[in-house]
Homo-oligomer: A and B are copies of this chain.
Amino acid sequence: MDKYRVAVLGATGLVGQKFVSLLSNHKMFEVAYLTASERSIGKLYSEAVSWLLPEEIPENVKDLKLISNQELLNLEDYDFAFTALPSDEAAIVEQKLLENGKVVVSNSSNWRMDPLIPLLNPEVNADHIFVLKKQKHGKGKIIKVPNCTSAILTLTLKPIYDAFGIKKVVVTTMQALSGAGIHGVPSMYIIDNLLPNIQGEEEKVENEPKKMLGTAGIEGIEPADFQIYPTTTRVPVLYGHTESVLVELANGGVTIDEVKAAMKRNSWNKINGLHLPTAPSEPIILRAEEDRPQPRLDRGAGNGMSVSVGRLRLDSSGKVLRYIVLGDNIVRGAAGTGVLIAELFVTLNERGEI
C-alpha cells in the first residue's frame, strides 16, 4: 500500500518534533514536507531543530529542507497537513489548506468550538467525525485536536458521564513546562516555584470537554450540559500534566467498584475494532498505589497515549468522586492524538464511511 504523504507545519517546536517522530516511521504515512518559521527556512531539519525528545531524530527526516508555510501552500503532492502553529497564524494557513483540498489535523486552538469542526479524542468521541460530512470549508476537511488538558481529562470523564451522569466538575491542574513550548517558561521563573495561572487555558478547559462529551445533531456538535470549574497552574515538571479532579455525579449512591468498572469498560470498543496503530491497548490505566500516578514514572504509559488514574475516592454519599489523572501532554495531549485522528480518518475513509 502506498503511504499518504504528509506535511508537518511548525515542525521544529515540541509538538512538531513529536509529530515528526510519530509520522516518520508510520505504516500509513510518510513525511513529505516540514515547515518552520522565517529564520529556519532553507536549513536542514537536523540543523535547525533543537531536538529535545528522548528518542533520536529519525534518520529519514534529518536532511529534509525546511520550507515556509507559504511555499507549502503552493505544493500539491501531499494529502495531510498536521499543524502545530500559533493559533492566529493557523487560522490563515488552515483556511488555505482547506481551499487546496487537504485533510488538516490541527493542534491549534482556533475554531475548536465550531460545531461543524470535530474536536476529536478518538476513544471519547470518534463518532463526531461524521460531522465532517457537513463541513464546507473548501474542498478539504479539518479536524481539531483538543487542548492537552481537555484531552487527558475527557478520557476519564467519558465513562463517568456515560455511566452516572455529571453535574459539575472541579479541576486543578499541575501542568508540565513542555506545554508552553521550548522557550515558554524561563528557568528563572520556575525553579523552586510554580506559576498559579496559564494564560487562556482555563477558558479552553471550561468548554472543550463539554463539546467532546456532546452529541452530533443537525446543527453539528451540541455540547453536554454541566459546569466545569478549572484552575490551571504550571509546575517544574518537563512532561506530563497532572489533574486533580472532583466530579459531582448526577445522582448519589454510586460505589467505588462501579466507578472502576466504568473506567475499565471499553467504551472505546468502537475504535478498538479498527486496530488503529497509535491507539493504546488501555486508554485508562487504574493505579491502586496511594502514591501514583506520578508524572516522571507514568507519563510513558501506553507510549504516552494512556492516561493513568489514581487516588479514586468517593464520599459517603456516593455522589462526590475525586481522583488524579495524569497524561503525556505532548503525546496524548497533542501529537499522539493528532496521529490517532489521522489514522481514524484514513481507516473510515478507505471503508467509504466518510
Contacts and interface: CB of A to CB of B under 8 A. Distances in A.
Interface of A: 14, 52, 54, 170, 172, 174, 177-178, 182-197, 199, 227, 229, 231, 233, 235-238, 242, 244, 246, 290-297, 300, 310-311, 315, 320, 322, 324, 326
A195 B291 contact: yes
B54 A194 contact: no
Contacts of A184: 186, 188
A182 B294 CA distance: 16
Contacts of A197: 290-291, 311
A246 B311 CA distance: 20
A229 B315 contact: yes
29 contacts: A52-B188, A170-B170, A172-B172, A172-B231, A174-B174, A174-B233, A177-B188, A182-B186, A183-B186, A184-B186, A187-B189, A187-B190, A188-B238, A191-B238, A192-B238, A193-B237, A193-B295, A193-B297, A194-B237, A194-B294, A194-B295, A195-B294, A196-B242, A196-B292, A196-B310, A196-B324, A231-B322, A231-B324, A235-B235
A192 B236 contact: yes
B196 A191 contact: no
Nearest to A300: B54
Nearest to A315: B229
Contact of A320 (B172, B229, B322): B229
Nearest to A199: B290
- As for how many copies of this chain the complex holds, the number is 4
Nearest to A181: B188
A301 to B, nearest CB: 9
Contacts of A194: 174, 235, 237, 242, 294-295
Given A177-B187, A192-B192, 8 more contacts: A177-B191, A183-B186, A185-B186, A192-B236, A194-B235, A196-B244, A196-B293, A231-B246
A299 B299 CA distance: 19
B172 A244 contact: yes
Nearest to A14: B188
A186 B235 CA distance: 14
A300 B300 CA distance: 16
A191 to B, nearest CB: 6
A246 B52 contact: no
Contacts of A189: 182, 187
